[in-house]
Chains A and B, each alone.
Chain A
């Protein structure tokens, strides 16, 4: 699998993503700087976590208008696979490739802890190596992860099985207490209707080796490889 990782000023999870993709695919991803207006032909583009452009105006707002992201949108519109993790998710909502917006956490606090997630849909290019309803632990680290969309959009996401990950308790229940950041419907990750673009707040690339405290992120990347081979 050929992949590319975008880098913006103040991205800070790009290296984690490069390490994860190199380990899992066996090939080092291309690094794309935000000012590059062309992107090499790759199977997967990853928008990493961080605080691109210092979160000026709104988290992800500046990055979403950068030349490289213009090329990323074309890649996605051609059906290319695209993931946005944390700040990358914020960028994807700002481009309109994914619906909704990510607002300040309801607690107003930066949240840095392992999040328990339920895999709501495992019939996707990003989750086929998980079991349906599997509970996984994935590290979260964000200040603006509070997913918001109006009732109409939430209804569409639910009806079309586009909610991929939800914050849950250890019984798999999407309770208010388990809802890390106040997200509508406990949403931690969603996919576009076409199934080639996914955004999520927690960081699967940070749980790929035992030394990191868990390996539940591995199946996320394995799923993408599976989808390309099938």
Chain B
């Protein structure tokens, strides 16, 4: 099965890259973008067939490596 993981910056953590992207969008003539937050998308191919076990395992991966809990949140989608 597949795990899709979204890693995003926590609220209150400044995102200078997101700001730069927002400015670039405005410069290209796209208006109406009030804010941009940049994150990461990670896709895993898992051997596990039990989705509950898979999620628990990926949760551990997120805590130990895939995210930095000081600055980032994560969400896991198993399919």
What residues of chain A have their CB less than 8 Å away from a CB belonging to chain B? 57-58, 61, 65, 93-94, 99-101, 103-108, 146, 148-150, 182
A residues near B17, Cβ cutoff 8 Å: 104, 108
Contact, CB under 8 Å: B70 / A104: no
| A61-B70 in contact given A104-B17, A108-B16, A148-B13 (Cβ < 8 Å) | no
12 CB-based A-B contacts, threshold 8 Å: A57-B66, A93-B70, A101-B71, A103-B14, A104-B16, A105-B16, A106-B16, A108-B20, A148-B14, A148-B71, A149-B70, A182-B16
CB within 8 Å of A: which B23-56 residues:
none
B residues near A105, Cβ cutoff 8 Å: 16
Contact, CB under 8 Å: B68 / A106: no
What residues of chain B have their CB less than 8 Å away from a CB belonging to chain A? 12-14, 16-17, 20, 64-66, 68, 70-71
Bound complex: CA A108 to CA B14 (Å) = 12
Nearest 8 pairs between A and B by C-beta? A101-B70, A101-B71, A106-B16, A108-B16, A101-B68, A108-B20, A58-B68, A104-B16
Closest-CB distance, B74 to chain A (whole angstroms): 12
Bound complex: CA A99 to CA B68 (Å) = 12
B residues near A58, Cβ cutoff 8 Å: 68
Bound complex: CA A103 to CA B17 (Å) = 10
A65: nearest chain-B partner, CB-CB: B65
| A182-B14 in contact given A57-B65, A108-B20 (Cβ < 8 Å) | yes
